[in-house]
Amino acid sequence: MTLNIDQSTCIKCGKCVKVCPSGIFTQEKTKKNIGLIHINTCIVCGHCVDVCPTDSVQHSSFPSEKIHTIDYDKMPTPEQVMLLIKSRRSNRSLTSKSIPEEILNQIIEAANYAPTASNARAVSFTIITDPEKLLWVSDYTIGVFSSLAKVLLNPIVKCILKPFIKGVYKYVPAFERLKTEHLAGNDPILRNATALLFIHTPKSNRFGCEDSNLAYQNASLMAQSLGISQIYMGFVLTAIKQEGKDTLARKLGIDGKIHAIMALGIPAFKYPKYVDR
């Protein structure tokens, strides 16, 4: 990585000094030349390149084809952004129609633009659309819940644990209901979604959960803007945590830890209203 300042075009505004999170840019006094120190501490966030009004910051990680001018006149209004946020619903009434690949790619691109701790950019995305694999995810989830319910309902275990984890036991009837619906082909887990977006990071990533869920929020709002239903897969994530193994990740070819899962589908209809919360 190389980083330089073109002093012939630099107007010495000092903006790069103010925005660099690593303190690499220096300026002794206003309107004096910009200096560089400890370049090896650069986290490649691009703040310096984005803020420079004269393209004087030359960063090898951001060649000219990666730099884009922002047209603020095309930005949505605050009212439009708020309407998008307020109208977002986990619409579970889905059709069997597949989501076009270009739309799935837009959702992933939005997710990839989410911020990450220390700009680690260690978040990865896996899309599953194969019906057999989708069914396997449902089977896996139901299987974990069924095994858990069997243990909890053991008379000896129940006698010992129920006084201490009453909150867990209230979900046992729900586990049974999910299993019954699943066996009847009603898909209570994925809700007939035609795609699953898995968001994951290396196991060594200290902020993997936080980074992944920031990415999820970006993806969710992009999906809403595209007219795609999105549902947070809390049951599947709970099953992964309960099992405590990498069974699901290995089955789907995911290397790392799954932190967030989004079910996606074409809605059967749109919500005409939203309520205050």
Q: Residue 127 is encoded by which pair of tokens?
A: 């899309």
In a domain, 58, yes or no: yes
Please indicate, yes or no, whether residues 32 and 163 belong to a single structural domain of this protein: no
Per cent of the chain over pLDDT 70 is 93
Among 66, 92, 107, which residue terminates a domain?
Answer: 66
pLDDT per position as a tens digit, 123-145: 999 999 999 999 999 999 999 98
Confidence band, pLDDT 50/70/90 cuts, at residue 18? very high
Lowest mean pLDDT among 159-168, 233-242, 243-252: 159-168
Please indicate, yes or no, whether residues 124 and 257 belong to a single structural domain of this protein: yes
Q: What is the reported pLDDT for 126?
A: 98
Confidence band, pLDDT 50/70/90 cuts, at residue 159? low
In a domain, 156, yes or no: yes
Number of separate domains in the chain: 2
| Three-class SS state of 65 | helix
Evaluate if residue 110 carries a pLDDT over 70.
yes
3-state secondary structure 133-201: HHHHHHHHHHHHHHHHHHHHCCHHHHHHHCCCCHHHHCCHHHHHHHHHHHHCCCCCCCCCCCEEEEEEE
Please indicate, yes or no, whether residues 219 and 159 belong to a single structural domain of this protein: yes
| Three-class SS state of 101 | helix
| Three-class SS state of 31 | coil
Q: What is the mean pLDDT of residues 108-131?
A: 97
pLDDT per position as a tens digit, 51-66: 999 999 999 999 999 9
Query: CB of 119 within 8 A of CB of 61?
Result: no
Q: What is the reported pLDDT for 150?
A: 78
pTM over 0.75: yes
Angle (CA) 14-17-20 rounded to 5° is 145
Among 66, 92, 113, which residue terminates a domain?
Answer: 66
CATH number at residue 10: 3.30.70.20
CATH number at residue 203: 3.40.109.10
Going by their DSSP bridges, the two strands 124-128 and 195-201 should be labelled as antiparallel
Please indicate, yes or no, whether residues 106 and 237 belong to a single structural domain of this protein: yes
Please indicate, yes or no, whether residues 52 and 133 belong to a single structural domain of this protein: no
Among 13, 41, 66, which residue terminates a domain?
Answer: 66
Q: What is the reported pLDDT for 163?
A: 63
Q: What is the reported pLDDT for 83?
A: 97
**Per-residue DSSP letter, 30:** T
Confidence band, pLDDT 50/70/90 cuts, at residue 166? low
Q: What is the mean pLDDT of residues 160-189?
A: 79
Confidence band, pLDDT 50/70/90 cuts, at residue 72? very high
The values of phi and psi at residue 254, to 5°, are -95, 125
Query: CB of 129 within 8 A of CB of 245?
Result: no
Evaluate if residue 165 carries a pLDDT over 70.
no
Confidence band, pLDDT 50/70/90 cuts, at residue 157? low
Q: What is the mean pLDDT of residues 264-272?
A: 97
pLDDT per position as a tens digit, 194-227: 999 999 999 999 999 999 999 999 999 999 999 9
Q: What is the reported pLDDT for 222?
A: 98
In a domain, 13, yes or no: yes
Please indicate, yes or no, whether residues 152 and 210 belong to a single structural domain of this protein: yes
Average pLDDT score, the chain: 93
In a domain, 71, yes or no: no
